[in-house]
Structure 1
Amino acid sequence: MSRHIAFGVILTGTGGPGEHNRWLDPEIPGDASVDIDWYIEQAQLAEAAALDLVFIVDSQFITPDSPPHYLNRLEPLTLLSALAARTSRIGLVGTATTSYNSPFNLARRFASLDLISRGRAGWNVVTSGDGGTAGNYGRDEHYDYATRYARAAEHIEVSQALWDSYEDDAFPRDRASGRFLDPEKLHATGHRGEHFAVAGPLNIERSRQGQPVIFQAGDSEPGRDLGARYADGIFTHAASVEANRAFAADIRRRAAEAGRDPEGLRILPGAKIVVADTDAEARDLELAQHRLSNTFEQALAELGRPFGWHDFRQYDLDAPFPAEALVHAERSFKTQATQITENAVRQGLTLREVVERAAAPHRSPFVGSAQTVADTLEEWFRAGAADGFNIYVSTPSQLRRFIDEVLPILRARGLARTAYEGTTLREHLALPAPENRHTRARREAQVGALAGAV
């Protein structure tokens, strides 16, 4: 497959973090996050443009202060299975936690999606930053940081082993001989580790792409190590072309140190794209969208999320930022909370100033006329800062403007495909299908035996 800029579309319906009031836009149905027809329409629009994937985010703990999309949304794998039946080429990526799923159950669900979609499934691996999730799964306390990442690594390894339970030719399905299964091509997992014990085998065959594509988005040191060691794709934040180029280089260095091909990973930063007739109009639209999205009070409440949903409304807004609140982040989004706290202490900010900065407009690099947006996307791609982008679109009309106005420019430059070249998500991303480990071991043993005989 030839290499183009990869594009994913993040579908967050009525509005994700920092977008409490997106649903007030008349273009957004108030029930978009639970309306399968809305998702189908967006996925089919993206597929008609030959984009690579749609991405469904998830979490399993809410408070009344959570953004609207989090308060009421469909479960990712159920949703993606429905989309699989109404699309034929676009990749289908969903978030699922390693902290509160067993490897056998989750591996089976993703393998099912992979077969239903004929090789288009992807798994965004998360460890669950919302500490309150523990209470929904019968635990008094969320896993600590180190345990969450240790479980994630083991969970991925077990899942990959389960996905190799059957070799690709395990089912002859020979009616003449009555032979449905070649039992020598079925392999038990037999895993017993620190966090999981799984006998296996998994009772479902591999898809045409071999295994679901694994994505990961952690930016902490353990998160970067996990992604570099196991992921096919890395979701990250687009701060600047320089910052993302450094991030990509760091991930590829870690991948090489883990014995992987550093060019076998796809780096896809999130990109808030706003397109208008002119750069000035696009910036005005970006600002208008931001002003609609959030109030100071909503931003103050949402500030608590990385701190385990600690309530900052109890503090004096004009007193120094309460650095002691960092203790509440120990089993939550620790990296993000630490950055907020350290920055506030270093600059001597009050709580009000921290909230105001969080709620202030953050100018996206990907805002402007179609020409400007296309130029910026190309700059990042050619600079090695990104292999593609996970695009945030505020409204369906903005997705259409990106497709109708920006993509033709990129296609004319040979940077975006005009049609799909393959059928699987791995083919879209120019990633090879992994060989079944048992098939590979048999082949290597045969080669070794022949070499020994010579």
Structure 2
Amino acid sequence: MPSKKIHLAAFMNAGPQGTVGWRHPDAGDDFLTAEHYLHIARVLEAACFDMAFVPDALAVPRSLGGSFEPAVRFGSGTTRLDPMTVITLMSSVTTRLGVAATMSTGYQEPYNLARSMGTLDHLSGGRAGWNVVTSFQDAEAQNFGQDKLPDREERYARAEEFLEVITRLWDSWSDDALIRDKVSGRFGHPDQVEAIDHRGRFFQVQGPLGVPRPPQGYPVIVQAGASPTGRDFASRWADVVFCSHESLESAVDFCQDMKKRAAAHGRDPEQLKILPAATTVVGIDYRDAMAKHEAFFDLVDHEAGLSRLAYHCNVDLTKYDLDGPLPSLEVVGVEGHYREVVEFAERERLSIREIGRWYGARTEGNMIGSAADIADTMEQWIDAGAADGFMIQATHVPAAFEDFATHVVPELQRRGLFRTEYEGNTLRENLGLARPGRGEWRHRAKGATAVTAHGAGA
């Protein structure tokens, strides 16, 4: 009996891929052109991917040595185009592929983001997604009038109110508010459009939104919180959780925890999709794939990898002995990445310098091998309850996505693990997610103790 069908998303920067992906001989050099992203979009849709997912940060990293010099020298997280512009481009040449952009609740306003995402959801026919982040670098804060990031609890408190406001704005029009009757001259039902009159700790927003309710109700909400606060937030608000794990065991523990949290908040656990990162290296066989990975590893300078890790953790690693072990750190940044590094470094007894080289070329999920090898591993993770699908991370673009689409996708389809054509028109439909009814925000907001059936209106 085949395993349940999996979901696939593609993790792709709006700029160079990864730490040294730009150095790969097969990497494209045209990431500053529209055609680069249009080509990737076509490749992903032809392979029936659920969505393209674009991460983002609002600063050039300064975490290593307090300077942006290492990041610029190695190209680690320096060039990041506006993700909304990029995913809008990608949606213009596709009809089924979902497109998701990362936008920070720390340095955006709910009204502007509600309008941008609502607009894209309409123009794409219901294929927009928003990856909610609270920002994780002091360098980002310093571009927006702050000396350093607020602490984690403060950032999540703002995010909580942000989500309430933005979903209320999307709900400020009923689904049937538009009439557009040219004969009578009536454009809409005024009694089906509401101001939200929100006055809170962080935001004061009157509304209503100037964009009718999105086709998906709410664009798909993606989140990647790994701390206890982040997990609670994601289990209430998110439709998709992006995560990163160094072992199958930690992935199973995380997935089970998130499903339990969702159920405790009154949600159907199957309405929360868990997509761990999977960096795939496809070869004719395992030996061929390992040769490709080793050639990629040889491109990584330890300082480039440490620049990336320092950026993720928001901790200056040059303060420590690079030939000594990684000390216990108070991580302001991405806690999930830090835990993954600790797990691997302790198991392999790595120094900080060695961690840098590993982190710069890491292949999450241990998915190196032939198409059959990779499909075996994916099937194992799905059967173990570690995932609902995977966030495919390419070592270099577009070639690594092309390799996956050409070799791994047909193998998954042959096994009955992946679709051969899209089931629906919207991103929610293809992910198997219910469309939120108007007023769903009340059931996801912090403190809610009961949830009505999916699709119930306010």
Same fold (TM over 0.5): yes
Equivalent positions of 1:21-100 (< 5 A) are 21-32=20-31, 34-62=32-60, 63-66=68-71, 68=75, 70-100=77-107
Q: Is 1:232 the equivalent of 2:234?
A: no
Q: 1:418 to 1:69 in 2, by over 3 A?
A: farther
- Residues 109-130 of structure 1, C-alpha deviations (whole Å, 9 max, x = no match): 1111111111000001001001
Of the candidates 398, 401, 405, which is equivalent to residue 399 of structure 1?
A: 401
Q: How many residue pairs are counted as aligned between the two chains?
A: 434
The answer to whether the Cα contact below 8 Å between 2:301 and 2:357 also exists between their aligned partners in 1 is: no
Q: Offset at 1:334?
A: 5.5
| Structure with the higher fraction of residues in helix conformation | 1
How far is 1:65 from its partner?
A: 2.6
Deviations 1:42-85 (A, max 9, x none): 11111011111001110011123336363223101111112221
Would you say the 8 A contact 2:125–2:215 is kept in 1? yes
Q: Report the equivalent of 1:134.
A: 141
Deviations 1:319-346 (A, max 9, x none): 67566xx46x44x445655886899899
Question: Does the 8 Å CA contact 1:228/1:252 hold for their aligned counterparts?
Answer: yes
CA 407–178 in structure 1, closer or farther in 2 if over 3 Å, else same: same
Higher mean C-alpha displacement, 177-186 vs 69-78: 69-78
**Structure 2 partner of 1:372:** 373
Q: Label 1:284 to 1:419 Cα distance change in 2 as closer, same or farther (>3 A).
A: same
Amino acid at match of 1:304: A
Name the structure 1 match of 2:290: 283
Q: Is the 8 A contact 1:234 1:267 kept in 2?
A: yes
Contact 2:247 2:365 (8 Å CA) reproduced: no
Q: Relative to structure 2, which stretch is displaced further, 189-198 or 46-55?
A: 189-198
Is 1:10 matched with 2:11?
A: yes
Alignment of 1:285-324 (within 5 A): 285-292=292-299, 294-308=300-314, 310=316, 312-313=317-318, 315-318=320-323
Alpha-carbon distance change, 75 to 68 in structure 1, aligned in 2, over 3 angstroms: same
Q: Which residue of 2 aligns with 1:386?
A: 387
- Paired with 1:239 and 1:13, the residues of 2 have a C-alpha distance of 25
Residue 64 of structure 2 is matched in structure 1 by none
**Preserved contact between residue 55 and residue 101 of structure 2 (Cα < 8 Å):** yes
Partner of 1:452: none
CA distance 1:256–1:288, change in 2 (3 Å): same
Contact 1:93 1:124 in 2 (8 A): yes
Over the aligned positions, Cα root-mean-square deviation in angstroms equals 3.1
**Residue 429 (structure 1) aligns with:** 431
Unaligned runs of 5+ in 2: 61-67, 444-451
Cα-to-partner distance string for 1:173-231 (whole Å, 9 max, x where unaligned) = 11121111100110111112222221111110123222100010111111111110110
Q: Which amino acid aligns with 2:380?
A: E
Query: Could you list the per-position Cα deviations for residues 402-444 of structure 1 after superposition, in whole angstroms to 9, with x for gaps in the alignment?
Result: 2222222221222111111211000110111111229x99x99
Give the SS at the match of 1:58: coil
- Give the 3 Å change call, closer, same or farther, for CA 322–432 of structure 1 in structure 2: closer
- Please say which of residues 362-371 and 199-208 is displaced more in the overlay: 362-371
Secondary structure class of the residue paired with 1:180: strand
Secondary structure at 2:379 match in 1 = helix
Note if contact 1:248-1:384 (Cα within 8 Å) is conserved in structure 2.
Answer: yes
1:5-35 Cα deviation digits (max 9, x unpaired): 1111112366445x2x321223223342x22
Q: In the alignment, which residue of structure 1 is the partner of 2:156?
A: 149
Q: Kindly indicate whether the alpha-carbon contact (under 8 Å) linking 1:302 and 1:309 is maintained by their aligned counterparts in 2.
A: no
Residue equivalent to 2:251: 244
- Larger C-alpha radius of gyration, 1 or 2? 1
**Highest RCO, 1 vs 2 (Cα 8 Å, sep ≥ 6):** 2
Q: Which runs of 5+ in 1 are unaligned?
A: 448-454
- Tell me, yes or no, if the aligned pair for 1:39 and 1:83 is still in contact at 8 Å: yes
Q: Percent identity?
A: 39
- Match among 197, 202, 206 for residue 209 of structure 2: 202
CA distance in 2, matches of 1:342, 1:244: 12
Structure 2 CA distance for partners of 1:35 and 1:317, relative to 1, 3 Å? same
